[in-house]
A and B are shown apart, each in its own frame.
Chain A
Amino acid sequence: MRNACSEPVPTGRAAPIGEVGPESGTIATMNVVVCVKQIPDPAAPAALDPQSHALVREGKLILDDSDAYGVEMGLQLADEGGEVTLVSMAPNGEVSGIRTGLAMGAAKAILVSDPALAGSDALSTAKVLAKAIERAQPDLVIAATESTDGYTGTTPVQLAELLGMPSVTFAKKIAVAGGSVKVERQTEAGYDEVECPMPCVVTVTAGVVEPRYPSFKGIMAAKSKPVDQLTVADLGLDASSVGWAGARQEITEVAAAEERAAGEIVVDEGDAHERVVAFLEQLKLV
């Protein structure tokens, strides 16, 4: 672990433990909601649908890696009394990614599943998630800073605004004490210590904690954990405000980017560094 900071910065794999519990005189049972997204396997080649220009989401969906950090953070904060509820949305009733989160240790899930949701933009997604999250009455809502497949990165904050909650984004450490969270928030210059009353929304960066692998026992238990499936109408939302109908933006064109000209390839036989030096000389950098 390296860092160039003036004082020790707990980053990366050193897992912070939430100070939840009777000794810190805080919430006895903490209700943590973790927003999770089920995405196509990022290892598979991505494509846009030629007609709709939406991301093609065929085949099995998996839990977005970025969300595994949030689930782990939630589990650690709820460890001393409380539980984690996963909240997700999908147009097609897909649950395989949610099962992964349940197998890690989340107690239950709410899945908003409705064909009307296809094509939803970030704001529509936030409206749906907000209605679903209200039902769970959370003390804390955790989300990833952005998804791996769409990386819009605004949904959690839109969600916070719709829920009327404060928010702290880009958390690299979270602790809970006295009805508020203390967050180390990534900044351009380093990090800020931020205090925020609960309930609130916090987004976590990858590496905030080391996500656990689901155990065999966890995987078996996940099969019988409750997944509450709701439609857009169940949430009291108008179908015209979500999905393609509610998205007030469209893609007009998809084009190949200008490609870089193919470069020179040298195989190192002990002298490739000389070619690098010559290249840098040409650029007058040495």
Chain B
Amino acid sequence: MAIDKVWVLAEAADGSPVSTTLELLTKARAIAGTVEAVTWGGDAAAVAGALGDHGATTVYDVGDLGGKLPGPVVAAAVAELVRSGNRPDAILVPTTYDGRDIAGRLSAKLDLPVLTNVVGLEVDGGELRSQHAVFGGTQVVTARFTGDGPGIFVVRAKSFAAEASGGGAPQVQAVPAPDLGVSGAATIVQRHAEERSGPKLDEADVVVSGGRGLGGAEHYAMVEELAKLLNGAPGASRAIVDAGWVPYSHQVGQTGKTVKPTVYIACGISGATQHLVGMKGSKNIIAINKDQEAPIFSVADLGVVGDVHKVLPKLIEALKARG
């Protein structure tokens, strides 16, 4: 039994597919003969070209959601499609706020299990196997579904590289959601966007992150300054996000963003497994920490055993002096 058809839940933002959508389409092309996408939020016309260019031949469009949270609505539309006999072998979902909601709802609707935190997918003996990084990425678990499909896989960002296929414009087919009643009633009344200068955390070439070793919220300014000097983005460990020093959007790790920059500079971060999962794939890692035994040094290409309050100001001065 080969993998004939794979669907990708094609999340979009501001009129373009999010990067994980394109990564999943690229992987889907490698494992299945037919790749199709599901879109929502009224962006279908704007994103169809990019989805086709990454291998989708059909785009199922749930349409504008009228401010409703996507989870129940998109899951209901997809479940209807599956129940009507249009059954893919697998459904790939990006690990995003809305992606997880959709996957959870869909799983319960179709009474199918879901595999989350997927970082790799391969075909073995005609069936899909997924890889999952566990224990801070020190071990890789391979899993498979044993029951009837479609298998629902929720895949972490940057698990695959996105490559265009040069495919033509896909066929767009409207798949409106059925009436959900109260279960779909959660509604967005106001959106708030944070102001950001410099590159996005998960797209930056350089990421400078701070942890509890900074000693206090006021010292995070050093992290921001260093990031700015290197045209990078500032990040954070879960500990200082939980402590309220910086917003959640800065968090790198299992519960936050996955980053794979050219260089990752960890300042005063011990390297809890929670954090390592989100940054271990960086091409180069520099760690500055007082404690020589800190786990972060086990993944660092350059480890500086020292006080961030002494090393960072000198580093910032040295970079400023170079102009």
Contact = CB atoms under 8 A, between A and B. Distances in A.
A253 B141 contact: yes
A233 interface: no
Q: How big is chain B's contact interface, by range?
A: 35 or more
B188 interface: yes
A157 B113 contact: no
B322 interface: yes
A134 interface: no
Contact of A268 (B112, B262, B304): B304
Interface in A133-164: 145-146, 151-162, 164
A1 B241 CA distance: 10
A185 B187 CA distance: 11
A200 interface: yes
Interface in B308-323: 310-311, 314-315, 318-319, 322
Interface in A25-74: 46, 48, 53
B190 A154 contact: no
A230 interface: no
Contact of B195 (A4, A159, A250): A4
Interface string B60-98: 000000000101100100000000000000000000110
Contacts of B248: 11, 172, 186, 205, 207
Nearest to B299: A260
Given A157-B105, A162-B108, A253-B142, A146 B188 contact: no
Interface residues of A, number: 89
A191 B192 contact: yes
A250 B144 contact: yes
A191 B245 CA distance: 17
Interface string B235-263: 00010011111111100001100000011
B318 A187 contact: no
A13 B105 CA distance: 31
A269 B291 CA distance: 15
Which of B196, B248, B292 has the largest number of chain A CB atoms within 10 A? B248
B243 A186 contact: no
A190 B310 contact: no
Main DSSP-derived SS at the A contact region: mixed
Given A123-B107, A248-B113, A53 B302 contact: no
B114 interface: yes
A161 B117 contact: no
Contact of A48 (B141, B195, B298, B303): B141
Given A200-B186, A250-B143, A207 B104 contact: no
Contact of A123 (B97, B113, B265): B113
The 4 closest A-B pairs by CB, nearest first: A12-B244, A268-B306, A157-B104, A248-B147
11 contacts: A1-B217, A153-B100, A157-B104, A160-B183, A166-B184, A190-B249, A194-B186, A249-B145, A252-B143, A257-B139, A267-B292
B305 A265 contact: yes
A158 B138 CA distance: 29
A145 B103 CA distance: 14
Nearest to A272: B304
Interface string A246-286: 01111111111100101111111010111111011001011
A268 B311 CA distance: 8
Interface in A191-221: 191-197, 200, 205-207
B191 A187 contact: yes
Given A1-B244, A13-B244, A279-B301, 20 more contacts: A4-B247, A6-B193, A12-B244, A123-B111, A152-B114, A154-B154, A157-B108, A188-B18, A192-B191, A195-B186, A197-B185, A206-B242, A249-B115, A251-B143, A252-B142, A263-B300, A272-B288, A275-B302, A275-B304, A277-B322
